[in-house]
Amino acid sequence: MNYLENKVEDVQIAYIGGGSRGWAWGLMSDLASEPSLSGTVRLYDIDMHAAQTNEIIGNKLNELENIQSHWNYTAISSLKEALTGADFVVISILPGTFKEMYSDVHTPEKYGIYQAVGDTVGPGGYIRALRTIPMYEEIALAIKAYSPDAWVINYTNPMSVCVKTLYKVFPEIKAFGCCHEVFGTQKLLASMVKEVTGTENVSRTDIKINVLGINHFTWITEASYKGKDLFPMYESFVNQFYETGFQEDEKDHWMNNSFESAQRVKFDLFKRFGVIAAAGDRHLAEAVNGKWYLKDPETVAEWKFGLTTVDWRINDLNSRLERGTRLANGEETFELKETGEEGVLQIKALLGLTDLVTNVNIPNTGQIPNLPLGTIVETNALFRKDRVEPIMAGNIPNPIYGMVATHVSNQETIVEAGLSGNKKLAFSAFINDPLVTLPYAEAEALFEEMLNNTRKYLQKNFK
C-alpha cells in the first residue's frame, strides 16, 4: 500500500465469493464512490465464470465519469493466489446451492415448522451451519497460510457461526462480521422522530444507540436523538402503531416485498420485554418461541411480515443473472448507488484515514459481561488504524437473557459439532432451538432428512 496525504493507494482486497451478483456489485459501487482509496480486488469464486463476469463489470466502472477512484478487478482461480499479499479479505459466499437451501427452508414445513429466512437459527439455520463450517475451516486455514495479517470482513450467514469458526481454526485471525439489520432499526427510530416531531432530514446516523446481543437477535438498551432519550417516545409510538404496524415507504409494502415488514414483531417484543429489538422482524420471529409469530402462514400474515421462499430467491437470482449479462456486455450502464453498508468505511478506519463507531460481530472480551468470553457477540466497536476495539455494552437485560443465552449455547455447540463431525452433538443444538417444538422422534426424523439433503457438504467423519 502507498500512503499519501488523506489517501491510500494500491490497497489489495481478496474477495472470496467474488462471483456474487449482489454483495460484489454493492462493494464495487461503494469503492468507486470513495475518493481516498484505490487498488485491486481479486475475485475468487468456485464459479469462475461468475467471477470473470464481475471482473468485466468492475473494470467497466473505470469508464464512468462520476467515479471517485479507480480499482482493478481480476478473477483469480485459486484461493492461495487470491489471498497472498491481501490487506483485506471479504467473504460473501452461498454455502451450497439453492437445492440445499430449499431443504433448509421448506423441509421443516412438512412438520409444521415455518421459517421466514432459515439461515441463522431454527432447523434451517443449523443445517446450513453444518455445511458452512467445513468451508470456513478451509478458508481460515488458507488465510493463516497466505494472508495472516489481513483484516477479514465476513458477510455470510449464519454470521455468528461463521465468525466463530474462523477464530476457532485460526485464533490470531483479525476477523469481524458485518450486518445491516441494526441499521434498519436506526432508520425506524429516525422515521419515528420525523413522524412524532415533524423534524425533517433525520438520518439513521443521528440516532445514537447502545446495541447488544447476537447477530439477528440484537437489542437496543439506549437510544437518543440530539441527547434526547427516545425510549418514552418509542413506547408511545409502539402503542399508536401496534395493531396497524408502521411503514414509511408504501412502495416497499410488506405484502409486495418479502424482505419487508410492518414492524409488528418489534413492537410486540418491546411490549413484552421493555427493550427495543434491533433486527428485522423475519429474523426476530425465528429467534423466539415458534408459536408466537410463525405458528402458520396465517399467523405470519397477522404479524405483517412474509416468509421468503426459495422459489422467490431463485427468480431473483435469474433476474440478477440477466442484469449481470447486460452489464458485462455494455447493454446496461452500472449506476453508482449508496448501499448503506459500512465495509468501505471500516476499511478506511483500519487504514487510519478516519475513526468509526459501528455495530460489529466479534468475540466477547467483556463487552457483554454476562455472556461467556469468546462468544461471538454484536455490539458497537471503535474502528481505528489497525484496531477494532469493542465498546462496553453492559449485561443482557434479565427479561431477554434466557432467550439470548439459549442461542449462544446452541451456536457454540453447533460449531464444535461441525468441526468435529459429531452428529449427536449437532442434534442436541437442533432440538434445543425454540422453533423445534416437536416430539423427540419427529425432531430426530426431521434432522435426519435435512442432514441427508446436505450430506455431501458435511465433514467426512460426520456419520
Question: Which residues contribute to the annotated binding site for Mn(2+)?
Answer: 179, 216
Strand partners, 424: none
| 234 vs 190: CA distance, rounded Å | 11
The gap between the terminal CA atoms of the chain, to the nearest Å, is: 47
Residue positions forming the annotated binding site for substrate: 157
Instruction: Say if CB 203 and CB 186 are below 8 A apart.
Output: no
Q: What is the DSSP string of 403-416?
A: HHHHHHHHHHHHHH
The H helix count followed by the E strand count for the chain is: 17, 14
Instruction: Give the per-residue SS3 of 375-396.
Output: CEEEEEEEEECCEEEECCCCCC
Three-state DSSP state, 428:
helix
Cβ atoms < 10 Å from Cβ of 337: 11
CA 272, 273, 274, 277: dihedral to nearest 10 degrees? -100
180 tagged catalytic: yes
| 255 vs 349: CA distance, rounded Å | 39
Write down the residue that cell numbers 421466514 correspond to.
Answer: 116
The amino acid at residue 93 is I
Residue positions forming the annotated binding site: 157, 179, 216
CA 45, 217, 160, 34 dihedral sign is: positive
| 240 vs 106: CA distance, rounded Å | 35
Cβ partners under 8 Å of residue 229, min gap 6 = 222, 223
Query: Nearest-CA neighbor of 459 among 425, 432, 436, 435?
Result: 425
Pairing of strands 88-91, 387-390: unpaired
- Considering the candidates 180, 253, 283, 407, report the single residue annotated as catalytic: 180
Three-state DSSP state, 95:
coil
Query: Nearest-CA neighbor of 89 among 76, 101, 100?
Result: 76
Query: Nearest-CA neighbor of 165 among 120, 205, 201, 132?
Result: 132
Query: How far is C-alpha 446 from the chain's CA centre?
Result: 26
Three-state DSSP state, 398:
helix
Cβ partners under 8 Å of residue 154, min gap 6 = 91, 92, 162, 163, 166, 175, 176, 177, 178, 361
Active site residues: 180
